[in-house]
């Protein structure tokens, strides 16, 4: 086989056709946004769209389970943007000072006992606080998330388009406080790289108006129009997480379009900085994804076609990545020990030939390195390049967890949705004053 063809084939199998396609769309949108000339002053313009919602129309809803370490600072960040009367906390069976902190802060509080899981807490709080009647938009916010000062300034204009029913926030890794160990810093750097790929490229492509195939409106800091909430089955049974299901509901019931702009509705979240917490979170996310796919099944339409391609890609790329391990071992044995101990035997057959492993590895490692370079440049974190040789190992871990979660999702045992938060890092730093963003024009439809 031609060496160049080997590299390209492996790269496509590992990266996936779907990811490459949406990445190309995302890159095109990024380039268009950078080089798009301003409209000519004599050119006939379309009528300006009227701002549908202001800050007074937004309710913040924070589900929290034993979040005393981080809740205060998240409330501080939210209170810079909105009055305390518009911030709501639902404590889902907390046994620490979560309720006390929220009450002392002065926001509206619901103490839910016993806990029902995040989805159950959200549904109960939406009804208890009468959010659908009192507000036009609900901002779902995790307790460990800090909103950027311009979150609403940039996020709300995306609702100007009448068909937009949800705005997905852009997640960025919180670096203050810093992870406690070198392993923690590595895990957070890897997650930052994943976010750069999935949001700046893939999700941005999927959010193109003609496409509208975004697969998740993350519950960490995203907004929904309240007039569609009654049509979303937030508490669908048997799911470990709710945000995949809520997104699939929007597509399945044709409720409207999901908007996303990389420079709009930005928020910062704490990512796990221990190996145990990282694995638990990845298991929870992948299990929730497969459970949601099983619950909804497949339908006809753009979203479901894109979803089918994504599923095929997840399976094929995970299998190919994990096959790299025995392939490396097999090739190393063939090239170094076969002359002494004989050629390897597989299922009774003597294997005497091997692929040129150098080109196979190039097909795996080169795209991975390019992704690291992209993340380092866009996030302005050149130190990430030093970790590039270690990131492929994390992809192997993610691939294993992805495949390992499928039998659990296919089984009849359902998840209760009850949660245990990762270990939080306390942070005490000043909350900046909101300012008009320099990129506000990019957040206008």
Q: Kindly state whether residue 160 falls inside one of the protein's structural domains.
A: yes
The answer to whether residues 284 and 316 belong to one domain is: no
d(CA 113, CA 110): 10
Q: Cis omega (within 30 of 0) on the bond before 202?
A: no
* Residue 291 in tokens: 């459970």
Instruction: Name the strand (E) or helix (H) holding 223.
Output: strand 221-225
Q: Kindly state whether residue 79 falls inside one of the protein's structural domains.
A: yes
From the list 135, 127, 134, 131, the residue with the least C-alpha distance to 57 is 135
Res 324 pLDDT > 50: yes
What is the tally of structural domains in the chain?
2
pLDDT for residue 431: 44
- Average pLDDT of the residues in 4-11: 70
The answer to whether residues 282 and 326 belong to one domain is: no
pLDDT for residue 118: 92
Note if the pTM is more than 0.85. yes
Q: Which residue has the higher pLDDT, 64 or 177?
A: 64
Q: Kindly state whether residue 439 falls inside one of the protein's structural domains.
A: no
Among 66-70, 129-133, 178-182, which stretch is predicted with the lowest mean pLDDT? Answer: 178-182
- Average pLDDT of the residues in 308-325: 90
Q: How confident is the model at residue 438 (pLDDT cuts 50, 70, 90)?
A: very low
pLDDT for residue 48: 65
Q: Kindly state whether residue 44 falls inside one of the protein's structural domains.
A: no
Res 314 pLDDT > 50: yes
Instruction: Name the strand (E) or helix (H) holding 8.
Output: helix 3-15
- Average pLDDT of the residues in 134-150: 95
Q: Kindly state whether residue 441 falls inside one of the protein's structural domains.
A: no
Res 430 pLDDT > 60: no
Q: Kindly state whether residue 346 falls inside one of the protein's structural domains.
A: no
The mean of the pLDDT values for the chain is 86
pLDDT for residue 434: 43
- Average pLDDT of the residues in 13-40: 79
Report yes or no: 150 and 236 within 8 Å, Cβ to Cβ: no
- Average pLDDT of the residues in 314-334: 82
- Average pLDDT of the residues in 303-311: 95
The answer to whether residues 199 and 90 belong to one domain is: yes
Q: Kindly state whether residue 210 falls inside one of the protein's structural domains.
A: yes
Domain containing 14: what range? 3-22+308-336+354-410
The answer to whether residues 406 and 359 belong to one domain is: yes
- Average pLDDT of the residues in 276-287: 93
The answer to whether residues 265 and 296 belong to one domain is: yes
- Average pLDDT of the residues in 408-427: 65
Res 83 pLDDT > 90: yes
Inter-helix orientation angle 243-252/275-296, to 10°: 20
Residue whose structure tokens are 């203050």: 176
The answer to whether residues 234 and 327 belong to one domain is: no
Res 10 pLDDT > 60: yes
DSSP letter at 199 equals I
The answer to whether residues 226 and 246 belong to one domain is: yes
Res 271 pLDDT > 60: yes
d(CA 214, CA 212): 6
Q: What CATH number is given to the structural domain containing 110?
A: 3.90.550.10
The answer to whether residues 382 and 238 belong to one domain is: no
Q: How confident is the model at residue 3 (pLDDT cuts 50, 70, 90)?
A: low
Q: What percent of the chain has pLDDT over 70?
A: 83
Q: Kindly state whether residue 124 falls inside one of the protein's structural domains.
A: yes
pLDDT for residue 350: 56
CA distances from 197 to 24, 27, 371, 402 (A): 12, 11, 7, 18
d(CA 298, CA 212): 17
Report yes or no: 140 and 221 within 8 Å, Cβ to Cβ: yes
The answer to whether residues 185 and 323 belong to one domain is: no
pLDDT for residue 74: 92
pLDDT for residue 420: 63
- Average pLDDT of the residues in 252-262: 96
The answer to whether residues 298 and 403 belong to one domain is: no
d(CA 166, CA 247): 9
Q: Cis omega (within 30 of 0) on the bond before 114?
A: yes
- Average pLDDT of the residues in 44-65: 85
Res 437 pLDDT > 50: no
Q: How confident is the model at residue 207 (pLDDT cuts 50, 70, 90)?
A: very high
Q: Which residue has the higher pLDDT, 399 or 425?
A: 399
Q: How confident is the model at residue 359 (pLDDT cuts 50, 70, 90)?
A: low
| pLDDT tens-place string over residues 219-249 | 999 999 999 999 999 999 889 999 999 999 9
- Average pLDDT of the residues in 90-119: 94
Res 372 pLDDT > 90: yes
pLDDT for residue 353: 58
The answer to whether residues 101 and 148 belong to one domain is: yes
The answer to whether residues 202 and 273 belong to one domain is: yes
């Amino acid at each position: 086989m031609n060496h160049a063809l080997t590299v390209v084939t492996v790269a496509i199998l590992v990266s996936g056709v779907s990811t490459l396609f949406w990445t190309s769309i995302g890159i095109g949108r990024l380039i268009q946004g950078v080089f798009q000339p301003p409209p000519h002053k004599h050119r006939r313009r379309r009528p300006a769209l009227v701002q549908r919602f202001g800050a007074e129309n937004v309710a913040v809803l924070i589900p929290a389970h034993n979040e005393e370490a981080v809740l205060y600072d998240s409330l501080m960040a939210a209170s810079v943007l909105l009055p305390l009367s518009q911030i709501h906390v639902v404590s889902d069976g907390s046994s620490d000072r979560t309720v006390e902190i929220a009450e002392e802060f002065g926001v509206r509080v619901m103490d839910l006992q016993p806990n029902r899981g995040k989805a159950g807490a959200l549904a109960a709080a939406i009804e208890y606080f009468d959010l659908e009647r009192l507000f036009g938009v609900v901002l779902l916010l995790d307790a460990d998330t800090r909103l950027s000062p311009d979150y609403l300034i940039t996020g709300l204009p995306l609702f100007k388009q009448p068909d937009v029913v949800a705005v997905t926030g852009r997640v960025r890794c919180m670096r203050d406080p810093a992870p406690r160990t070198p392993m923690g810093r590595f895990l957070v750097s890897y997650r930052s790289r994943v976010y750069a790929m999935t949001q700046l490229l893939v999700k941005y492509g999927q959010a193109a108006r003609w496409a509208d195939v975004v697969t998740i409106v993350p519950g960490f800091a995203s907004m929904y129009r309240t007039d569609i909430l009654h049509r979303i089955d937030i508490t669908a049974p048997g799911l470990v997480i709710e945000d995949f299901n809520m997104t699939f509901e929007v597509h399945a019931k044709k409720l409207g379009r999901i908007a996303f702009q990389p420079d709009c509705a930005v928020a910062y979240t704490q990512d796990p900085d221990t190996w145990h917490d990282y694995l638990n979170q990845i298991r929870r996310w992948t299990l929730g994804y497969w459970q949601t796919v099983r619950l909804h099944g497949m339908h006809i339409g753009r979203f479901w076609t894109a979803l089918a391609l994504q599923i095929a890609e997840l399976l094929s790329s995970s299998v190919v990545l994990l096959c790299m391990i025995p392939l490396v071992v097999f090739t190393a044995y063939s090239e170094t020990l076969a002359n002494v101990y004989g050629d390897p035997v597989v299922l009774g057959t003597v294997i005497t030939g091997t692929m040129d492993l150098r080109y196979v590895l190039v097909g795996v490692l080169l795209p991975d390195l390019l992704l690291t370079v992209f993340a380092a440049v866009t996030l302005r974190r050149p130190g990430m390049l030093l970790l590039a040789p270690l990131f492929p190992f994390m992809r192997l871990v993610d691939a294993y967890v992805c495949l390992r979660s499928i039998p659990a999702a296919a089984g009849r045992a359902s998840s209760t949705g009850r949660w245990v938060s990762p270990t939080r890092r306390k942070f005490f730093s000043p909350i900046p004053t909101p300012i008009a963003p320099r990129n506000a024009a990019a957040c206008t439809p």
